[in-house]
Each structure stands twice: as C-alpha cells, then as structure tokens.
Amino acid sequence: MNHRSLPGELHDDDGRSSAAPPPHLRPQRRPCWPRLSGLLAAAALAALGCSAGSGGQPASTASQPSAMTPAQIAARATPAVVTIRGDGSLGAGFLVREDGWIATNYHVIAGISDLKVVLWDQSEHPVLEVLAFDEDRDLAIVRIHAPRRLPLLSLGDSRAVRPGDPVVAIGHPLGLADTVSNGLVSAVRVVDPALTLLQISAPIAPGSSGGPLFNERGEVIGVAAAVATQGQNLNFGVPADYLKKLLVHPDPVPLSTFAAETADDEQALPAVKRAVPHHRLAVLRGCTEGDLLVLARTMDGAIQVGSPLYNQGDFASCYHIYEGASFDMERRLGPACRGPKQALAEGRRKAARLDDNAAQAWAMRDAFDGLLDVILRKVNGDAG
C-alpha cells in the first residue's frame, strides 16, 4: 500500500492555491493507468488462461437479508453516486460519509489540480483535498464541502464474494450519468499476495471508473476499474475491503499539492490553445439515439487510442486516428444527422490547413470535444 502524505499546508473549504498554467495553455491529458496497470494486465492474462491465480472465500452459512433487484439497488443507491470531472478526466465516485467524503479511483484524480464533483442534483462542488490514496490498488478518497448531510453507501464484506455472485454497477460511461448494468462475479483473481481483484461480467466503459459495485443486498463490494488487453475487454473491481483501510487512516493533503506530486512529467508536450466549438442543441436535429451512441462511442474510443500516442510524442499517428474516426462516423451516421457530419468535416478542413501534426491532432480533438459536449448537454436535458 502506498498510503502517504505529501508536503504542503492544508487548505480550508474557502480557497485553494495552484501554480498550474491556465487550461487553454495546458495540454489536455486523459487519465492513464498508474502502477496498477501492470497488475490489472496480470489479472487479465490470468483470465485469458495465461497465468495462474484464482481464489475466493467459502460461502457463509449465516442467514442473509433478502436479495434486491438491480432496479431496487439503483433507486436506493443512485443519489450517492457522483461524477468527477477534471481537465481531460471523467470518472465516477460515491459518497462514503455524509460530510462529503468520496471514494474513487486513483487514476481519475492523479495529476489534476482542478476537480469538480457533480452530485445527483447537478450541483458542482470543488474537490478540496485528497484524504487518502493507494496508488498500487488504484483507490483514493477525496473531500468536498458538504452543503448538507449527503446520502452515503454502506460497504459490504468483499472477502465473502464468490464467483457466480450477482453484481450491479452504477457509473457514467461516456458521460451518460447514472447508467446501471448488472452481471456476475466471473472470478476472484489473486494477482499477487498484496492484491486481489474481482473480475466481473457487468460492462464498464470509460467514465464509470471509480463507481461502486454492489452485491445483491445493495452493499458496495468493489470499486469499478477497467482494462483492455489482447483485444479483450475485461472488467475488474477493486475489493471494498482495501477501501475500508483507507477510511480508517485519513492523511489529508491539498488537491493542488497532490496534483503537483502525481502529474505526468515524462515529456514536455507542446502548448496548445484550445478552440472547442460550442454547438447549440439544434446541431443534433435529425440524429437518432443510435446516431448519438455512434458518435459518443467512436469519439471516446478514438481518444482512448490516440491520446496515449500523443502523450508519447507520436502526434502524426494520433491525428490520423482522429481523422479516420471522423470519416468512419460520417459513413455510419444516418442521412438526417447532418449537423455532426458538418462539424466533423469542418474539423478535418481546419486540420488540413495546418502543417504541424500536434496542432492537427488538437484540431480534430476540438471537433470531437465540441460534439461530445453538446451530446452531454442534450442527455442532461439542457435547453440551449
């Protein structure tokens, strides 16, 4: 466990300091998997039969409370599930204390100095401090100023989880808030003596990382994580028992200090001034729900592939992935979905006028982010 404090003074709820450059000059980063990536890859290989290691606890003979349906779990738990947004980061989390303590993944918050938590009532609250984190297990606890007593989720006994147990996940895949999915615990993977993971069949997409996983009694038995390897999409949860240990020994540090200490500094990337277009909802006129799903999934998938290449300095490959994805979307969209087609074509025209691959990649990314923003506003019921 990497449970440690970072140098710096604590800040109260009324203000925080940050030496980060302004957002329009800061290269946008998507969260990368920290050291846990290697451990998740090992678990994924185990799931594919490439290594050994699986375990679980014997069934309990004690009487258990009656099982709940996924709909009942969602109705009770959704008010305690939150969205966590930052510069280039989108994830989920859930309240573990009514005074504003929120559990999420480490990779959702690492290196980001300005994080906002969106509660179920759509109110936004800045993250004030990181109370505890465990980089090796991809867990973190952050705090917001609670405007009132907030609903919270109870943690179950993840040691009692067995393969075949039902599991329910609530998160925000691709920014689609409060999405509920259900499945089974496929396996309990012992990755190494210090880490066990829950492999689950309930789908997890980008944006759901950090969300809760529930047993049939509505107790949180894991924190959602996801990894793709060897062409397989394998979904994992970090057992809730690891989270309980963090709750016992909080060690607060200001978010600005945590971000500075955990920021990626492997390569200095070119400064870029963003020019994300702001579309009115009318741009989506004529687009079906299927069209919107094609747009959201294709753009997010392209960003997931292209962003790491960009961060490695391969600007040309990133640009060509974005450009190819835009052509693919235009081909797959319905004939009446003209606004997004025009927006994508305009992004390509803007990129073609530039002679720098990094700037071309950002021109396409601006086009993507403009469309993702308007789709999110439509899903959230915005009027304009």
pLDDT at 85: 87
Q: Is residue 5 over pLDDT 70?
A: no
> Biggest alpha carbon distance in the chain?
69
pLDDT digits (tens, 9 = 90+) for 186-209: 999 888 888 899 999 887 766 678
Candidates 113, 158, 208, 209; catalytic one: 209
pLDDT at 161: 96
Q: Is residue 38 over pLDDT 50?
A: no
pLDDT digits (tens, 9 = 90+) for 40-87: 544 544 554 444 444 444 333 345 568 899 999 999 999 999 999 887
Residue 27: which pLDDT band, with cuts at 50, 70 and 90?
very low
d(CA 272, CA 24) in angstroms, rounded, equals 7
d(CA 143, CA 130) in angstroms, rounded, equals 6
The verdict on whether 138 is a catalytic residue reads yes
Residue 29: which pLDDT band, with cuts at 50, 70 and 90?
very low
189 vs 131: which has the higher pLDDT: 131
Average pLDDT of 258-286?
84
**pTM beyond cutoff 0.95:** no
143 vs 40: which has the higher pLDDT: 143
Average pLDDT of 1-24?
35
Q: Is residue 294 over pLDDT 80?
A: yes
Residue 233: which pLDDT band, with cuts at 50, 70 and 90?
low
Task: Work out the angle at residue 329's Cα, subtended by the Cα atoms of residues 326 and 332, and round it to the nearest 5 degrees.
Answer: 155
Candidates 134, 136, 138, 366; catalytic one: 138
Range of weakest confidence among 201-215, 234-248, 329-343, 365-379: 201-215
- CATH 2.40.10.120 domain locations along the chain: 23-262
The CATH number of 23-262, from 3.40.640.10, 3.40.50.720, 2.40.10.120, 2.60.120.680, is 2.40.10.120
Within the chain, strands assigned E span 81-86, 89-97, 101-104, 116-118, 124-126, 129-134, 139-143, 166-171, 179-192, 195-200, 212-214, 220-229, 232-239, 253-254
The verdict on whether 265 is a catalytic residue reads no
pLDDT at 156: 95
pLDDT at 382: 75
- CATH 1.20.120 domain locations along the chain: 281-379
d(CA 264, CA 25) in angstroms, rounded, equals 16
The verdict on whether 366 is a catalytic residue reads no
47 vs 327: which has the higher pLDDT: 327
Sign of the four-CA dihedral 342, 345, 347, 353: negative
CATH of domain 281-379: 1.20.120
Sign of the four-CA dihedral 350, 367, 107, 146: positive
198 vs 227: which has the higher pLDDT: 198
Range of weakest confidence among 6-10, 100-104, 350-354, 375-379: 6-10
pLDDT digits (tens, 9 = 90+) for 313-324: 888 888 998 999
143's CB contacts (< 8 A; 6+ apart) are 100, 101, 102, 127, 128, 129, 130, 131, 252
pLDDT at 87: 76
Q: Residue 4: which of 309, 258, 355, 215 has the closest Cα?
A: 258
pLDDT digits (tens, 9 = 90+) for 84-108: 988 767 789 999 999 999 999 998 8
Share of the chain above pLDDT 70, in %: 76
Please report which helix (H) or strand (E) contains residue 70, including its range: helix 70-77
Range of weakest confidence among 12-26, 87-101, 141-155, 326-340: 12-26
pLDDT at 176: 64
pLDDT at 2: 38
Q: Is residue 177 over pLDDT 60?
A: yes
Residue 273: which pLDDT band, with cuts at 50, 70 and 90?
confident
pLDDT at 307: 82
166-171 and 179-192 as β-strands: parallel, antiparallel, unpaired?
antiparallel
d(CA 188, CA 159) in angstroms, rounded, equals 10
Confirm if 270 and 19 have CB atoms less than 8 A apart: no
Candidates 89, 107, 256, 307; catalytic one: 107
Confirm if 326 and 292 have CB atoms less than 8 A apart: no
